[in-house]
Structure 1
Amino acid sequence: MSTLLLTGPVFADSPDRYYDRHDRRDYRDDRRHRDSRHDRYRHEYREHRKPPRVIYRGKPRVAPRNRVRWYRDIVIVRPHGHWYPGYAHHYHDDDAYKWLAFTAITLGLLDFLNEEQQREHEAAQIAATMAPIGERIIWREGRASGVVTAVREGTSTSGRYCREFQQNVSIAGKTEEAYGTACRNPDGTWEVISVEN
């Protein structure tokens, strides 16, 4: 029996060669998404924008950065209450797209509502967009209740249909009221143009 002894270079990769080949990884994130995903993640890239001002009790305040986001060029501001996607009984931003701007008409008492109560209040706001002028949309959930009423309607200088809303929320013997005017865009979305608390 003969033994074969090989002498010469070994062809397996050495650890140094492996390290040298993999230490130059390209970590660039080119952020190429499908077009359908672009709108869903658009708010992530808007950090350069200043947070919008919120009028609360007659004084302009800047909404905290962590309570503001954008979805399809709509500013969603929730300085008070629960922070969740969607609006009212629409649990996704896509479904609630038309009414997301109504978050700008805010009340400090929203901090004392649970999520279900806050969603009932938002559902009343949506109902008031279609109700006859002066009809009171009343909601009640647990110990909280409220009323939303469309008090006036008209047309803006650009021809958009507009409504002025009055809303109040009551909980634990406290009541707070707010007014806001919103105009409907041609695509069916609403834009809040003035708020008064």
Structure 2
Amino acid sequence: MTLALAVAGCATSNSGVSPLSFASAGKSSELGSNQLLSALNGGVLPAGSMTDLSKSDRLRVLEAEYKALESAPGGLPVAWKSFDGRANGQVIAATPYQVGQQNCRQYTHSATIGGQTVTGQGAACRNPDGSWTPLT
């Protein structure tokens, strides 16, 4: 409940703010290795919702989550769009906070995939190697 309230408050406090666009060519090398993205364990969207996405589009989903966690200002959406234009979404990370020596962030990911709206939320902490590990 606290997570939902914190993230909802963050999402509504920046109305009218333009989202960051994240339209890479689907190459994780722009952000680092595939290892950085695989540490996200598939992201926070429901796994079943991603089955209709191509491998490169699933990579774009994870890249958007990584970019939101790594560098987006709190509350500023990071948008993504599938290569064929039939799916899109945005990730909004809250203000970073500390857990011990780690930087952590709560975040939400909403998307439209196959005509269906899906949402996921979670929190992740940054590891010394630059990857983000979701909290369970």
- Scaled by the length of structure 1, what TM-score is found? 0.48
SS of corresponding position for 1:165: strand
Whether the 8 Å CA contact 2:86–2:114 is kept in 1: the answer is yes
1:120 paired with 2:56, answer no
1:153 paired with 2:96, answer yes
Structure 1 gaps of 5+ residues are 1-87
Whether the 8 Å CA contact 2:89–2:110 is kept in 1: the answer is yes
1:97 CA displacement:
2.0
Whether the 8 Å CA contact 2:107–2:122 is kept in 1: the answer is yes
1:172 CA displacement:
2.9
Whether the 8 Å CA contact 1:109–1:169 is kept in 2: the answer is no
1:96 CA displacement:
2.1
- Which amino acid in the other structure matches residue 185 of structure 1? N
Residues 28-60 of structure 1: per-residue CA shift (max 9 Å, x gap): xxxxxxxxxxxxxxxxxxxxxxxxxxxxxxxxx
- Which amino acid in the other structure matches residue 168 of structure 1? S
Aligned to 1:144: 87
Q: What is the aligned-residue RMSD (CA, Å)?
A: 2.0
Aligned to 2:113: 171
The structure with more radius of gyration = 1
1:188 CA displacement:
2.2
1:168 CA displacement:
1.6
1:113 CA displacement:
1.3
Residues 146-197 of structure 1: per-residue CA shift (max 9 Å, x gap): 11110242111x2210011100221232011001111012232221113xxx
The share of aligned pairs that are identical, in percent, is 28
Residues 74-116 of structure 1: per-residue CA shift (max 9 Å, x gap): xxxxxxxxxxxxxx6227xx82223322124342210121222
- Which amino acid in the other structure matches residue 97 of structure 1? Q
Inter-partner Cα distance in structure 2 for 1:180 and 1:136: 15
Aligned to 1:56: none
Inter-partner Cα distance in structure 2 for 1:140 and 1:183: 25
> Which of 117, 129, 132 is equivalent to 2:73?
132
> Which of 78, 90, 100 is equivalent to 2:28?
90
1:143 CA displacement:
0.5
SS of corresponding position for 1:135: coil
Higher RCO, Cα 8 Å, sep 6+: 2
Inter-partner Cα distance in structure 1 for 2:33 and 2:118: 29
Counting matched residue pairs gives 104
Q: 4+ residue stretches of structure 1 with deviation over 6 A?
A: none
Aligned to 1:162: 104
Whether the 8 Å CA contact 2:64–2:91 is kept in 1: the answer is yes
